[in-house]
Structure 1
Amino acid sequence: MDNMSLTKEKCYDPRDSTLRFVDREDELDFLYEGFSSRRALMSCGHAVTPPSLTNWCRQQLENGSSRFVCGQSGCDAEWPYAEVRKMALLTSEEREYFERNMALNTVKVHFDSKACPECKYSVTRKNESRLSVRCHICTARRGKTYEFCWQCLKEWKGDHSRTDRCENEGCYNEALKTLTTCSVITFESVKGVTGCPSIRACPTCGYMLQHSSKKCKNIRCARCKIEFCFVCLKITSECQKTSKGYCGPCSDGVAPRQTSIPVWQKK
């Protein structure tokens, strides 16, 4: 479905007295362009439209989250699913998609598990940075080590130390591909900064984030809640030691495109 079709289908009813409408920009609009719809306030006070809210929450699901958080600068409010469902005007198909993936992601958060492609039994990965995973059931049945790729779910081929892909045809890391091919942005309020990738992986936990190019260069991660500089990829407190304010250029310039996804070392 294209953006215009989605816009026509997803517009707030101006007669809905349960909504509080405001005359200001959609604060999630960097995820959705080309629409005009009345803005309504979420419980955290940020203004949204149904299409942008749907896309923002869908992105969180695709990044493995089972919860929905605002994630705007200085706001780590969590939105109940009931609120998201109402404010995003989710269709029946979208509700089914959201609820299915919320359940799947909840399992993944607590148990990093997948079905072995050979025996179909659940295998839990102990090391999140390792792609080559051993299935003990298949190993016992075969009488020799059986390992599969966590990414493409095929029997492992190649160097076991690789963290980006195995040597099976078609195996690639979707997140890394996004990081290396995303468009670049020019910040509206940060002078002298050009060519910055529009999507970054949080340097603390690896969560994928997109910057609107508006406001300051710092962004707070929706997952680990750490604020970092989108330009140099340093934690904000470290960046501020050498840069000239929140909107000033970084002393180290624009960090190159990321070639690996940081793994969150939870404490």
Structure 2
Amino acid sequence: MTTLQNIPEKRYDPSDISLKYVKKKDEITGDDVDPNILRAEMSCGHAVDPNSLTAWCRSLIDQNHYKFHCPAVKDGTNEKCGKEWPYQEVRKLAVLTDEEQQDFEERLAALAAAEYCEFKSCPSCHSYVERKDLTNLNVCCLICTAQLGRPFEFCWQCLKEWKGSAPRADRCENTECKNRDLETLKNCIVIELPGTTVTNCPSIRACPICGQLIEHNQTGCKNVRCSRCQNEFCFACLEPTRACQATRPNSYFTTCAKPVAPKQTSIPTWNRRAPPLVTFPHNSADRERSPNTCLLF
């Protein structure tokens, strides 16, 4: 994550009358050392410094968020503002340099695209491809097939040329092929969730909807929101927050009606565009061979 120390010092131009300037503390960092420092007011009404705003928004991108929300605390409460800032506003008030704009916009575009489609680079020709069949790791690259004069198939998981029978949902026959996310879930430690009565909880979870790996930030209640599909669920029992609270109301910081779910041994396949598909059995060698055909971008 980029820190304030890594970002060149910036200052607002007092002659820019398009901004609303205020002499208030920086409501991202709380810094109020020099009252003469010029700060600008965001659309939500909170004051920012271009340096802290750049750092905050970069940290959100580093955490795979492509939307920017105000982290300031509302006056007289412990509640965060949370209002979304348009990128155009962030770009102007963060005084982004040309290099920062290019970096932000490339990463934001990739994050936004990843929410709606999962794509990878063919290991041979490096074309970006998307699977048609989300349950089959065997993918046929049309460009390489045309260039080589033979079918070129690769593994979506290890990104090596395909070995073994297909279709397969678990792995190909390359020795190094394995689901690293499943390995992470298997080997994660168990923790107590600070501030709650939840104990012996796996420290990493796969979102029950889309499979995105999520680590509890060790603050707040036991519920988390997936940055990819926006599903909110209980980190302890893995039920949707609404369902968890329905069975034991106001249990945000206490144990659930259900026991803590054990370490997950499978990860859901999320089809962003259609209802969930039935997955292939792991032993599928006797099925009719039907490799994925890549979609080219």
Q: Work out whether the TM-score is over 0.5.
A: yes
Aligned to 2:61: 57
Aligned to 2:122: 116
Aligned to 1:206: 211
- State yes or no: 1:250 paired with 2:249: no
Cα 1:226/1:162, change in 2 over 3 Å: same
Aligned to 2:277: none
Cα 1:229/1:106, change in 2 over 3 Å: closer
Aligned to 2:161: 155
The structure having more radius of gyration, on CA atoms, is 2
Amino acid at match of 2:131: R
Aligned to 2:105: 99
Q: CA RMSD in A?
A: 4.5
Q: How does 1:21-170 map to 2 (within 5 A)?
A: 21=25, 38=31, 51=55, 53-60=57-64, 67-70=66-69, 78-84=84-90, 95-107=101-113, 112-139=118-145, 145-158=151-164, 160=166, 162-163=168-169, 165-170=171-176
- Single out whichever of 144-153 and 231-240 deviates more from structure 2: 144-153
Tell which has more relative contact order, 1 or 2 (C-alpha 8 A, sep 6+). Answer: 2
> Within 2, Cα distance between the matches of 1:127 and 1:259?
22
Q: Return 5+ residue gaps in structure 2 as ranges.
A: 14-20, 33-38, 72-78, 275-297
> Residue deviations 1:13-72, cap 9 Å, x none?
89994696467xx7xxxxxxxxx77399976689996555433321216xxxxx325499
Identify, as 1 or 2, the structure richer in helix.
1
Q: Return 5+ residue gaps in structure 1 as ranges.
A: 27-35, 62-66
- State yes or no: 1:187 paired with 2:184: no
Cα 1:190/1:160, change in 2 over 3 Å: farther
Q: CA deviation at 1:228?
A: 0.9
Cα 1:88/1:227, change in 2 over 3 Å: farther
- State yes or no: 1:217 paired with 2:222: yes
Q: CA deviation at 1:140?
A: 5.8
- Aligned to 1:60, the other structure's residue is in SS state coil
> Within 2, Cα distance between the matches of 1:135 and 1:248?
50
Cα 1:124/1:226, change in 2 over 3 Å: closer
> Within 2, Cα distance between the matches of 1:46 and 1:178?
39
Amino acid at match of 1:8: Q
